Amino acid sequence: MSGWLSTADGHAEEDHDGEQHEHRSRWPLIAAVGTGLLYLGAGFYFVGLDLVPVFIPAGLAGVGTVGILAGFFGWVYEAFLAPRAGHGGHADRYSTTMILFLASDVSTFSAGFIYYAFVRAGAWETSHHLLTPLVFVNTVLLVASSFTIHYAHHALNEGDRKKFLGLLGATLALGVVFLGGQVYEYYALLVVEGFSLTSGVLGSAFYGLTGLHGLHVALGVLLISIAFGRSLRGEYGPGHDTAIKTTSLYWHFVDVVWVFLVVVLYVGASV
């Protein structure tokens, strides 16, 4: 008797025992364990070197980094690259997973903002002028990209393939230009102004928070690139939009964090 086997996108197929099995991804768990080990290694490095040899935190951080990368790329392959990934039928499951991931990501950014609040409340060095026209331009670009990906998803569900491809491509271009602007900003601050990671608590807070956000934007650009490449092959359509929906959720989150970062860090450091 034929049965059901789960596929990469979470669909159930018949197996030889005649029982139906639901796909459960292991990649988010691997990434979570890797993150925990990385944080544990970092904690030992900063506060526990008197208690443990240096190779222990280094080893924990190394294994954790491998776990994070393996979990992330495994998840990307399973949800976006595997055969039939991004099709309908299990959109709610992948959307819920993305929401849970973003909720955990809020904690990561919150830790950085709490650190910034503590150093602002304590001894604070002379403010550095970070609010430049480039920051304004980058903000406009990123906010605009939220609109383009939203309406791209809407056009996909309406069956307007040409509009969908144009808006998704525009989102990708805006994300790439934003990253280019951030690279130029780092160049101007580091090389021209000499403002670096070691420039007091403001330097560590600025590069820590903007670097973390820049990493998220780079990951978002990667997801949009994958989705755009598959869209050119006609792999999405009305009712087959899971990858577009989850990528859109992620991109909106990145945009909201950036606006909050500009208000708190860029404006806050300039007053």
Predicted confidence (pLDDT) at residue 8 exceeds the cutoff of 50: no
Report residue 79's pLDDT band, with 50, 70 and 90 as the boundaries. Answer: low
Predicted confidence (pLDDT) at residue 91 exceeds the cutoff of 60: no
- What was the pLDDT predicted at 251? 94
Of the listed ranges 64-68, 134-138, 195-199, 247-251, the one predicted with least confidence:
195-199
pLDDT digits (tens, 9 = 90+) for 114-128: 777 777 766 555 566
Report the mean per-residue pLDDT for the chain: 78
Distance, in Å, from the CA atom of 70 to the CA atom of 30, rounded to the nearest integer, reads: 7
pLDDT digits (tens, 9 = 90+) for 198-230: 777 778 788 888 988 998 899 899 989 989 988
Which domains occur in the chain, in start order?
1-85 (no CATH), 88-269 (1.20.120.80)
pTM beyond 0.85: no
Distance, in Å, from the CA atom of 104 to the CA atom of 110, rounded to the nearest integer, reads: 10
Q: What does the pLDDT average to over 11-28? A: 48
Q: Two tokens at 118?
A: 């503590």
- What was the pLDDT predicted at 162? 94
Report residue 82's pLDDT band, with 50, 70 and 90 as the boundaries. Answer: low
- What was the pLDDT predicted at 148? 97
Q: Which of 246, 238, 251 is nearest to 79 (CA)?
A: 246
How much of the chain exceeds pLDDT 90, in percent? 30
